[in-house]
Amino acid sequence: MPEMSSERADLLEKLQSHHDELVATVRQRSSEELSRPPAPGEWSALQQLEHQLLADDIWTAMAARAAIEDEPDLAELWSKYRVVEESNPFPPPSEPRTLDELVGLLEERHRQNLEIVAAIPDEAFGRKGLNTGWGNLTVMQMLRGVYRHHRMHIDQIELKESSFKPQRVG
| Residue 87: CB atoms within 10 Å | 8
pLDDT beyond 70 at 92:
no
Mean pLDDT over each residue of the chain, to the nearest integer: 88
Which are the contacts of 103, defined by CB distance < 8 A and separation ≥ 6?
23, 26, 27, 49
Residue 54 confidence (pLDDT): 87
pLDDT beyond 80 at 162:
no
Residue 30 confidence (pLDDT): 95
pLDDT beyond 60 at 164:
yes
- What are the beta bridge partners of residue 128? 138
Element (H, E) at 128: strand 128-129
The predicted model gives 92-104 an average pLDDT of 83
SS3 annotation, 94-125: CCCCCHHHHHHHHHHHHHHHHHHHHHCCHHHH
- Closest by CA position to 96, among listed 154, 165, 6, 31: 31
Residue 80 confidence (pLDDT): 77
71 Rama class: left (phi>0) / alpha (psi -120 to 50) / beta: left
User: What percent of the chain has pLDDT above 90?
Assistant: 66
Contact predicate 68/124, CB 8 Å: yes
Element (H, E) at 137: strand 137-138
pLDDT classification of 84: cutoffs 50, 70, 90: low
pLDDT beyond 60 at 89:
no
pLDDT beyond 90 at 1:
no
More confident residue, 26 or 3: 26
Contact predicate 150/93, CB 8 Å: no
The predicted model gives 125-135 an average pLDDT of 93
pLDDT beyond 90 at 49:
yes
The predicted model gives 47-57 an average pLDDT of 90
> Please, what are the domains in the chain?
6-157 (1.20.120.450)
Residue 168 confidence (pLDDT): 62
Query: 142 vs 36, 77, 109, 126, 128, CA distance in Å?
Result: 30, 13, 16, 11, 9
The predicted model gives 71-97 an average pLDDT of 74
